[in-house]
């Protein structure tokens, strides 16, 4: 049976396309308007709302909560202060990534986790022997992402607490009479917040946010617009940039944090006394420089891309919907395959064809020239492209301190 989210009653009448996908057993809008680009520009120019309620949600509580998570997560949760959130991955014993999620620290003994996949059984098995309780509260909360340069203006009219939130901070607030928790997080690479609402109060909170958004161009956006934004932001996605190691058939389908561009999570691994799952395997990988891949951004040479289409008598396509398949990458000189783009799209804000790519470390340095495989008139062609550091779109307002309300 397919479920609906706490916000579905309000969002369904706004979905002019009638297009829904299934996300963790819930209906999730693909797009509300006939063009997802309209929704995308709400996120980049004004404010959009996205229903992220299908995320799995867990309370992790107890005297040993920090000690337990420090032994599970690749990133050191001990450095996360109460009132702050931390993005992290967790790995198997061989150092391959299982999954990722965001941990919200509430106190010395309380953490709240959101993840794209269910993890109750896995975490509960590891928690044996610790003074910690893990509770699945996925159905108890709706989560509404309010994203874009006007998001602070909209939410601050309802909850002044957002004016004090730094990047990845979270705080308790009220919208109307409803207690909520608001975090300065999101998956768009822009200024944005996420509002955690008790399920029974979701509709009234949604109404209040939409009413406050009048005059700011507020509108809902669906999965297509979200995926466009996340590629520009250089944010990896499970089942695209990586899959869970526990579900992989071969090691070619498995990736380490370093291979996913998450090496920054590993700072202090050599001197740290944390014996987290997979630590020794990751240390060996770093010491021997044995990473098979490196993640990078990709920017296609627009002149070469245009030329290939013009030579075929075609108008260059500029489709912002990300490709759902891999595109091979080749060495400019030898023609050897050196990697692949996990996805490609035309970026409306950058006005370039861009993507996220997995390359051999020898070819992953920024500004390295490669060829990307494209299909033109049913034939494979190769267009020039360059590797680039992510995020490819990184507005100052995303992480600016609250007193610098950059628009």
User: pLDDT for 117-141, tens place per residue?
Assistant: 999 999 999 999 999 999 999 999 9
* pLDDT value of position 407: 41
CATH (domain of 376): 2.40.30.110
Query: Residue 13 and residue 9: Cα distance in Å, rounded?
Result: 8
Structural domain of residue 332, as residue ranges? Answer: 294-388
Residue range 182-196: mean pLDDT, rounded: 98
Whether 26 and 54 have beta carbons less than 8 Å apart is answered as yes
Give residue 406's pLDDT: 44
Q: What is the pLDDT of residue 275?
A: 94
Q: Domain check: are 35 and 182 in the same one?
A: yes
CA gap 389, 356 in Å, rounded = 10
Whether residue 263 lies inside any domain: the answer is yes
Whether residues 163 and 211 fall in one domain: yes
Q: Flag whether 121 is in a domain.
A: yes
Report if residue 1 sits inside a domain: no
CATH of the domain at 117: 3.30.70.1400
Q: Is residue 402 part of a domain?
A: no
Does a structural domain hold residue 366? yes
281-294 confidence digits (pLDDT tens): 999 999 999 999 99
pLDDT in tens, 241-268: 999 999 999 999 999 999 999 999 999 8
The domain tally of the chain equals 3
Closest by Cα among 300, 337, 332 to 318: 300
* DSSP labels, 290-350: ----EEEEEEE-HHHHHHHHHHTT-PPP---SPPSS-EEEEETTT--EEEEEEEEEEETTT
Average the pLDDT over 173-183 and give the result: 98
Can you give the pTM of this predicted structure? 0.96
Q: Tell whether 67 and 152 lie within a shared domain.
A: no
* Residue 353 and residue 215 share a domain: no
Look at residue 402 in the predicted model and tell me its pLDDT: 79
Instruction: Say whether pLDDT at 404 is over 80.
Output: no
């Amino acid at each position: 049976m397919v479920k609906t989210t706490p916000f579905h009653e309000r969002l369904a009448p706004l979905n002019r396309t009638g297009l829904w996908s299934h996300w963790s057993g819930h209906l999730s809008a693909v797009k509300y308007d006939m063009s997802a680009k309209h929704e995308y520009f709400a996120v980049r120019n004004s404010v959009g709302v996205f229903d992220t309620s299908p995320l799995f949600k867990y309370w992790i509580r107890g005297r040993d909560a920090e000690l337990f998570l420090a032994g599970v997560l690749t990133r050191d949760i001990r450095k996360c202060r109460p009132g702050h959130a931390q993005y992290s991955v967790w790995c198997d014993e061989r150092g391959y990534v299982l999954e990722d999620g965001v941990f919200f620290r509430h106190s010395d003994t309380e953490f709240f986790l959101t993840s794209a996949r269910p993890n109750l059984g896995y975490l509960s098995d590891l928690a044996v022997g610790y003074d910690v309780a893990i509770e699945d509260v996925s159905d108890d909360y709706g989560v509404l992402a309010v994203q874009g340069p006007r998001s602070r203006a909209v939410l601050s009219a309802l909850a002044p607490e957002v004016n004090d939130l730094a990047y990845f901070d979270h705080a308790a607030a009220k919208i109307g009479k409803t207690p909520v928790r608001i975090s300065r997080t999101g998956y768009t690479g822009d200024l944005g917040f996420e509002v955690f609402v008790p399920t029974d109060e979701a509709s009234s909170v949604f109404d209040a946010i939409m009413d406050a958004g009048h005059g700011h161009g507020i509108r809902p956006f669906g999965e297509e617009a979200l995926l466009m934004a996340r590629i520009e932001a250089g944010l990896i996605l499970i089942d695209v940039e990586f899959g869970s190691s526990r579900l992989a058939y071969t090691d070619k389908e498995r990736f380490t944090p370093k291979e996913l561009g998450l090496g920054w999570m590993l700072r202090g691994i050599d001197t740290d006394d944390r014996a987290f799952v997979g630590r020794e395997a990751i240390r060996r990988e770093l010491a021997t420089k044995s990473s098979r891949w490196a993640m990078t951004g990709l920017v296609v040479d627009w002149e070469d891309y245009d030329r290939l289409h013009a030579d075929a008598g075609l108008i260059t396509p500029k489709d912002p919907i990300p490709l759902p398949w891999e595109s091979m990458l080749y060495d400019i000189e030898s023609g050897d395959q050196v990697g692949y783009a996990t996805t490609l799209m035309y970026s409306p804000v950058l006005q370039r064809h861009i993507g996220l790519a997995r390359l051999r470390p020898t070819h992953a340095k920024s500004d390295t020239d490669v060829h990307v495989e494209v299909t033109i008139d049913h034939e494979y062609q190769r267009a020039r492209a360059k590797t680039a550091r992510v995020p490819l779109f990184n507005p100052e307002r995303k992480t600016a301190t609250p007193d610098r309300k950059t628009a």
